[in-house]
Amino acid sequence: MEALPPAVVSRETEARIEAFVPLLLRWNARINLIGPMTEAVVRQRHVADSLQLLPLVPPGEGPLGDLGSGGGFPGLVLAMALERPVHLVESDRRKAAFLQTAAADLGLRHVQVHIDRIEAVTLPPLAVLTARALASLEKMLPWAERLLAPDGVAIFPKGRTALEEMQAAAPGWTMSAERFKSSTDADASIFRLSRIRRAGA
């Protein structure tokens, strides 16, 4: 399992994060985006956990999609550091309202929020697909196959069940898979998947 290179962000991204965390905590008191948390815990458990994915995002201008964006992790945080179009998919209207407010307040004009179910959402072919703490790989691979461009990559952080999930999903799929060690959680890892196809397709 490879170690992740460090994520380097600009001063502008740091300023956006500084503005984002208090906004998140204010909304969290009303609609429970991430559970009760302090600012320090938000920065380590959620912001840093999202930013560590940056080195895995391939260069280019192709769109990034994030499924089940919730409190903005990882998709909105990645959008703070990227200029490419970012599509956040969230079916809960209250969480989607938070995402829309945060994107507007932070000046993220390249972010579009889709209030829709993952199975039904219409997106442009994605260069990058992310999802964090959403579902098993077995459930997410069909979404990735449908939404990714032919040369697109899926970046999925996973917890201690990462290998078991891959073993459960593998018989039905062919793909190129890389696994990286999380820099924020010793029990977690991150899959970067490409060329995702159903077995026999």
Give the containing element (helix H, strand E) for 126: strand 126-131
73 is in an annotated binding site: yes
What is the rounded distance in angstroms from the CA atom of residue 136 to the CA atom of residue 159?
10
Cβ(19)–Cβ(105) below 8 Å: yes
Cβ(121)–Cβ(146) below 8 Å: no
Cα atoms in the 13 Å half-sphere on the side-chain side of 69: 32
20 is in an annotated binding site: no
What is the rounded distance in angstroms from the CA atom of residue 69 to the CA atom of residue 72?
5
Tens-binned pLDDT, residue by residue, of the chain (201 aa):
778 888 889 999 999 999 999 999 999 999 988 878 777 788 888 999 999 999 999 999 999 999 999 999 999 999 999 999 999 999 999 999 999 999 999 999 999 999 999 999 999 999 999 999 889 999 999 999 999 999 999 999 998 889 899 999 889 999 999 999 999 888 899 999 999 999 876
179 is in an annotated binding site: no
Give the containing element (helix H, strand E) for 109: none
155 is in an annotated binding site: no
Strands 148-158 and 189-198: antiparallel
Can you name the CATH fold of 2-198?
Rossmann fold (3.40.50)
Which residues make beta-bridge pairs with 177? 193
Measured CA distances, 7 to 4, 169, 184 (Å): 8, 29, 12
Q: How confident is the model at residue 201, as a pLDDT?
A: 67
